[in-house]
Copies of this chain bind each other. A is one copy, B any other.
Amino acid sequence: MRVLILGGDGYLGWPTAMHFSRMGHDVHLVDNELRRRAHRENGTDSMTPIAGSLGARVLAWKEVSGNDIGLTMGDLCDPTVVEAVIRAFRPEVIIHYGEMPSAPYSMASRAHAVFTQYNNVVGTLNVLFAMRDLAPDSHMVKLGTMGEYGTPNIDIEEGFIEIEHRGRSDTLPYPKQPGSFYHASKVHDSVNIQLACRIWELRATDLNQGVVYGIHTEDTRRDDRLLTRFDYDEIFGTTLNRFCLQAVIGHPLTVYGSGGQTRGYLNILDTIQCVELAATNPPGPGEYRVFNQFTEQFTVLELAELVARAGKEVGLQVTIDHVDNPRIEAESHYYRAANTHLLDLGLRPRYLSETLIESVFDVIRRYRDRVITEHILPRTRWRPAERQPAPS
């Protein structure tokens, strides 16, 4: 298959690119290194010393694997970039990771919120119109987020829910309650993609993904130049990866609030497996389908305790700190989300284990001197402490 990967320089995009290339597909990447620039602006960096550019990664991959990966450096918000690459590459699958992915980033200021929504919504609209005009049979595999659903007091279904109401019934889009302007941008995308599939008969799979953890895939292990990024800072770091890093460097595990927040999680290896299952089992024309992409549910405190136990096994002194929650979110809530669609397609989950955590510890130990500790604690607050009062 001709597989176009948007956001091919990211934590998930790069390992996905290598996987599809190794499996014999024709792979082309688009990226504008937005994440690298955001890190430079913040004074932060990936813990893993990733290759200096996406171009360098592609060259290293060629050397290690013998396979070519195509590359377009450009911004999805520029329609001429999107149209040129789709016209020339004629993708059969478009795996769309190419968005600004951080909730705290989107909450930092008006400009950050506007940029996140502009970047994500306009980039996706540009891809949809280019599909309509240049690749109407291609299949968009879009990375959404479980955060679109929020924490409703009923079971979360996969994108749609049958509602019985006053004696009638219909299957309707599952109600969305995003918790940040970033999560809202993914909700906006879902609405736009669903509309495009309905009116233009496009094909799309929206993968509402949980929180991903892990460092290595089969391909990242082959050469240091093939490492994927590993973020732990308050803006781009995610729960379990950050806890593992904190355990290794002797930093208290920072649980936000009581830690009762329940979310879905999955191994980075399962992300790749899920994306591959979606890509190789496309929907029909006009079909917009949603898969909830996670393998297990945990509370934040459960994860902290799991990391602490694993740390103790290997001789680390691990403490848990409950820090003021910078977010506005329920810390104690019902949470039960369906995730059978990908299992039905053949997903074989790698469940979280102390062994896995210990293997992550090992990689972190190797790079612990690169950690910038002052960017670990959360500073971006959903509700700014000081409101500027109206002048009187």
Contacts and interface: CB of A to CB of B under 8 A. Distances in A.
A181 B170 contact: no
A224 to B, nearest CB: 39
A187 B194 CA distance: 13
A181 B193 CA distance: 10
Interface stretch (A23-31, A38-46, A112-120): A112-120
Contacts of A188: 117, 121, 184, 187-188, 191
A309 interface: no
Contacts of A368: none
A334 B169 CA distance: 11
Interface in A122-138: 122, 125-126, 129, 132-136
A168 B191 contact: no
Contact of A125 (B110, B195, B198): B110
Nearest to A194: B177
Interface residues of A, number: 60
Given A122-B117, A173-B177, A199 B388 contact: no
A343 interface: no
A257 interface: no
B184 A170 contact: no
A198 B327 CA distance: 12
Contacts of A111: 79
A192 interface: yes
Interface in A281-304: none
Contact of A121 (B121, B132, B174): B121
Given A173-B177, A383-B200, A388 B134 contact: yes
Interface string A158-183: 00010111101110111111111100
B175 A184 contact: no
Contacts of A152: 170, 172
Given A153-B168, A383-B200, A195 B175 contact: no
Given A113-B129, A125-B113, A125-B114, A161 B155 contact: no
Interface of A: 79, 87, 90, 110-111, 113-114, 117-118, 121-122, 125-126, 129, 132-136, 152-155, 161, 163-166, 168-170, 172-181, 184, 187-188, 191-192, 194-195, 198-200, 328, 334, 382-384, 387-388, 390-391
